[in-house]
Amino acid sequence: MYKRTVKRKILCEGYGLHSGEFSRVTIHPGSDHDRILFAKKVGNVMRYIPLGIEKVKSTMFATSIGDDQFTVFTVEHLLSTLHGFGIDSAIIEIEGDEIPGGDGSASLFADAILDAGIFNLPAKKDFLTLDSGFMVEHNSGYIKYAPASSLVIDGIIDFAHPRILKQEYTYRNNPEQFHAGIARARTFGFLKDYNTMQSLGLAKGSSLENTVVLDENDVMNAEGLRFPDEFVRHKILDLLGDLYTIGSPLKGHITSYKSGHALNHLFITKFASLVEKQFVTEHPVLQPALVFTA
């Protein structure tokens, strides 16, 4: 299996879900030597941030990456699309501070990539995997890992709300299931939490046009849900994006229960440390396969 990039330059633009501010993202094709790079013009100089877990700056209601040069907010839906379509190499140039939110799902990016096309690079794709399982827990949730020959995610959520309750969905990572199964699943939130999020400077761009909003009893959006289990599908969408903050595709069977960005980051950080430890054990005279610093 070979590394992949987009066939041509892609432009996506719109308003951020949290900032409410306009931004523009240009996805440039990458070479077989590249990885996923975020780029932004700072002053008169183009600065670059290579994707990696050490670049994660915040996991509060969304995932943001950055360093002392710049920060990009709400990257998870874009990263999920790249992970789902197997895009290993691309330069993500951003004008603004937050990735455009589109309709609250990954459709903005998925449709654009499918329209542009995907190109196989000459370099072989490198997957990260482990020989043994582990589990991490946070609050009332957990994520478990078991070795597998591909990436499979069993997502489980359980909300005390009559329109959600307990939902389960199994996702097998490939472009077809990504596009048909989870790309259109929208972010969701509760009306009772809206004022709190606003006071934290969040959800300024959130509306019924880009968020599934629930009051005490029902979904407030006039068009209803896109899937009966849209909520758990979106949680898997977020997890798939947060997993890709490691910068490489994964193999393994993941079971996620009540996941969120903080738990996702705790899991992928632990996964990365175990991959590095496994590599050093198997190849004591070689350098680790994972490099955490740019």
> Each residue of 62-84: pLDDT tens digit?
999 999 999 999 999 999 999 99
**Mean pLDDT for the stretch of residues 224-249:** 98
Same fold, 2-124 and 134-282: no
Q: What percent of the chain has pLDDT over 90?
A: 87
- The residues, ordered by sequence, that sit 6+ positions from 207 with a Cβ below 8 Å of its Cβ are none
Write phi, then psi, for 278 (nearest 5 degrees): -65, -45
Looking at residue 279, its pLDDT comes to 78
* Residues labelled catalytic: 261
Looking at residue 197, its pLDDT comes to 85
In CATH, what is the architecture of 134-282?
2-Layer Sandwich (3.30)
> Each residue of 137-150: pLDDT tens digit?
999 999 999 999 99
Listing DSSP states for the chain in one string gives -EEEEESS-EEEEEE-TTT--EEEEEEEE--TT--EEEEEEETTEEEEEE--GGGEEE-SSS-EEE-SS-EEB--HHHHHHHHHHT---EEEEEESSB---TTSSSHHHHHHHHHH-EEEEEEEP--B--SS-EEEEETTEEEEEE--SSEEEEEEEEESSTTTEEEEEEEE-SHHHIIIIITTPPPEEEGGGHHHHHHTT--TT--TTTSEEE-SSSB--TT--SSTTHHHHHHHHHHHHHHGGGSS-B-EEEEEES--HHHHHHHHHHHHHHHHHHHHHH-TTS--S-----
The pTM for the full model equals 0.94
Is residue 294 over pLDDT 50?
no
As assigned by CATH, the class of the 2-124 domain is alpha beta
In the chain, where are the structural domains located?
2-124, 134-282
Q: Contact 186/221 with Cβ under 8 angstroms?
A: no
